[in-house]
Every structure is written in C-alpha cells, then in structure tokens.
C-alpha cells in the first residue's frame, strides 16, 4: 500500500453537538488500486469544532476499542464517526498510518 484515501458520507453538518459524518478510510497502492490485505493502524486527527466519537473496521474478531481515535484497517478499510461540537466552523479530519501517505477531508459545521 502507498496511500490512504479518506472520504465522508457528507461534508455539511449542523453545529449542534449531535450531527455526525461517517468517514471511510481505504488503502491504495501507487497505481490507485485498493489494497484489501492492508492492515495498518490508522490514527484519526481532528482540528476544528468536532471530535471522533467512534471507529470501526468490520472485523468480527477485533477487540480494539470502538471509542478511540485509531483503528487497524481490515480488508484495507476502516471507518470513523466525527461529531460536531456546539460551534460553527471548518473541521479537518486527517487519517495517518506509518509508511502511507496521509489523507484529509474537510467538513463544515453551521
């Protein structure tokens, strides 16, 4: 794997302290092909009026915490749930893993 690609199910959120976006992170190789065997540990970093409130990867035998800011990829994929604070503003979420190019997504809370 060469890079992570982070995408959000939606980018416009309410700054009400309850609204969420579901983010998917996937590992790709240098030619842009998915890498289903990737199992890197991904760390999610948030700047702005939001926070990671949960993570997952679909692995039925995983004992990793669901309320954390990191998760190992399973079949090359993982998810994070980002919730807004009670403020408006831009939120940037970055996914990082050792040896892979990081990826960011921008959300807006209003």
Structure-token pair, residue 73: 């990829």
List the pLDDT tens digit at each of the 110 positions of the chain: 899 999 999 999 999 999 999 999 999 999 999 999 999 999 999 999 999 999 999 999 999 999 999 999 999 999 999 999 999 999 999 999 999 999 999 999 99
Identify the three-state secondary structure at position 79: strand
pLDDT, position 37: 97
Angle at CA of residue 53, ends 47 and 55, nearest 5°: 105
Q: Which CATH code fits 3-102? A: 2.60.40.10
Distances (CA, A) of 35 to 7, 25, 39, 70, 93: 16, 12, 9, 19, 22
Residue 16: what pLDDT?
A: 97
CA distance 99 to 110: 35
Estimate to the nearest angstrom the gap between the alpha carbon of 33 and the chain centroid.
19
Rounded to whole angstroms, the Cα distance separating 26 from 107 reads 18
Residue 57 phi, psi (nearest 5): -145, 0
**pLDDT confidence of residue 34:** 98
Instruction: DSSP letter for 34, please.
Output: B
pTM for this prediction: 0.95
């Amino acid at each position: 794997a060469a890079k992570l690609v982070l995408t959000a199910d939606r980018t416009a959120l309410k700054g009400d302290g309850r609204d969420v976006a579901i983010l998917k992170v996937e590992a790709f190789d240098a030619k842009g092909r998915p890498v289903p065997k990737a199992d890197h540990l991904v760390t999610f970093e948030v700047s702005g009026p939001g926070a990671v409130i949960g993570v997952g990867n679909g692995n039925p035998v995983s004992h990793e915490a669901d309320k954390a800011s990191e998760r190992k990829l399973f079949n090359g994929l993982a998810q994070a749930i980002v919730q807004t604070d009670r403020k408006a503003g831009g939120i940037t979420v970055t996914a990082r893993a050792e040896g892979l190019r990081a990826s960011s997504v921008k959300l807006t809370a209003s």
